[in-house]
Structure 1
């Protein structure tokens, strides 16, 4: 039997943030869902985090988390980010892959949150960002398998296309993490010749695929918009 990235289990990860600017915006909720090799959910961890700033109304409209809610229910940002780092570092040490959708966004936001909260020199930080973490990213996988996909390629649209239930819970960290995991498993079954490999091999392949994908996207955007300054960064899974 061929090795698969989920042969030793995996952890699905998602965050909700105050916006989409990776270097400036803050994590206000996160979820880690632990799965067995047979895709059974065995454990879950969730966080509500008080970022110490106002949650913009636009973010609240998307994820339902208001300033008042995170201030009353959330843990201090430094404490919450440290716990998330520790949990992901454990995944890295045990070579348990972390599954996400557009995971480079979550990992990059977490990088800057770590620096902001003085955690960038911790052992947990090093275990994640020195290359120990193996990320399985459904978005990068789908772009590789379906270069000329007609239609939107966000999590909600792909869940609908692949029969993954998301419903009204979209933009909830737990629901999005679960959907990302299920979507990645379905993509693997659909295209085993690309994705049915061990986690380390898939991680390395995705880095290469992503660089090519961003090069192609950059060329398309520059040509279609007549703007040679448009830049699509090729770094994956973290844009530093």
Structure 2
């Protein structure tokens, strides 16, 4: 009897794991996790979501609370200890990665760096140390800038959802943003063969290069723009995680 070989479906038609954090601010080195979501969707199976609310141990600035809706008072009353939450997020993502499922995160370098620093802060083994080279990330932010580099305007998740006609219910809640990131990645992959037909290994490697090129382009723009030249030095091209600096880092 002849054997028939069926090729695996493209990655975006298989299981995806959306990951998103809402935080006390925009510095992954200094700020803290407030809410988090890891949601598995697609691949012909029902969605499965895990959500967390942490007491970050510091006050949540009014500006951050206005974005995600979690006040200091609510986090202290309803949130769980930050160390427990961070450990559970790392455990959930470890299970995803070791199952061969890609982590889909909008602007992954922020969320994964934030999680890494929180893990170190609370004595939890960081995700990158646990899974090593098995980590595969899909970042709609990097993908969008690669396929449409000259589109004007902002590129927040809300903007990308509008551009790719993806529904976004409850923007700036971790669960809604995690699902939306997966949907945007699906849209891009389904219409750009270079991305959709790539293996996860190749796509991850390509995004490392694209993110570096995009950062270099942004830094060059800042250097050429009066009044913004000082920003060039702050642009980082590391992806999907900013390396931990053992000296001079946040406590």
TM-score normalized with structure 1 length? 0.92
1:126 maps to 129
Using a 3 Å threshold, how does the CA distance of structure 1 residues 157 and 41 change in structure 2: closer, same or farther? farther
**2:18 and 2:40 in contact (8 A); partners too:** yes
5+ residue gaps, structure 2: 1-6, 244-251
Using a 3 Å threshold, how does the CA distance of structure 1 residues 159 and 41 change in structure 2: closer, same or farther? farther
Structure 1 residue 235 corresponds to structure 2 residue 238: yes
- Between the aligned partners of 1:47 and 1:119, the Cα distance in structure 2 is 16
Report the aligned-residue RMSD.
1.7
**1:102 and 1:137 in contact (8 A); partners too:** yes
- Tell me which stretches of 4 or more aligned residues in structure 1 moved more than 3 Å: none
Per-residue deviation, residues 80-123 of structure 1 (Å, max 9, x unmatched): 00000011111221221011111111000001001100113x6x
- Between the aligned partners of 1:210 and 1:53, the Cα distance in structure 2 is 32
Structure 1 residue 76 corresponds to structure 2 residue 43: no
2:202 maps to 201
1:139-178 equivalences in 2 (<5 Å) = 139-167=141-169, 169-178=170-179
1:50 offset after TM fit, Å? 0.6
5+ residue gaps, structure 1: none
1:6 offset after TM fit, Å? 3.2
**1:16 and 1:27 in contact (8 A); partners too:** yes
- Between the aligned partners of 2:87 and 2:230, the Cα distance in structure 1 is 40
1:201 offset after TM fit, Å? 1.4
2:187 maps to 186
Per-residue deviation, residues 31-80 of structure 1 (Å, max 9, x unmatched): 11112324x54211000011111111110000000011111111100000
Using a 3 Å threshold, how does the CA distance of structure 1 residues 41 and 192 change in structure 2: closer, same or farther? farther
- Between the aligned partners of 2:200 and 2:90, the Cα distance in structure 1 is 20
Structure 1 residue 9 corresponds to structure 2 residue 15: yes
**1:2 and 1:197 in contact (8 A); partners too:** no
- Between the aligned partners of 1:224 and 1:14, the Cα distance in structure 2 is 32
1:214 maps to 215
- Between the aligned partners of 1:11 and 1:43, the Cα distance in structure 2 is 9
Using a 3 Å threshold, how does the CA distance of structure 1 residues 125 and 238 change in structure 2: closer, same or farther? closer
**1:31 and 1:45 in contact (8 A); partners too:** yes
Structure 1 residue 61 corresponds to structure 2 residue 62: no
Number of residue pairs matched by the alignment: 235
Helix, strand or coil for the counterpart of 2:232? coil
**1:81 and 1:113 in contact (8 A); partners too:** yes
Using a 3 Å threshold, how does the CA distance of structure 1 residues 229 and 183 change in structure 2: closer, same or farther? closer
Helix, strand or coil for the counterpart of 1:24? coil
1:193 offset after TM fit, Å? 2.5
Structure 1 residue 104 corresponds to structure 2 residue 113: no
**1:127 and 1:133 in contact (8 A); partners too:** no
Structure 1 residue 24 corresponds to structure 2 residue 25: no
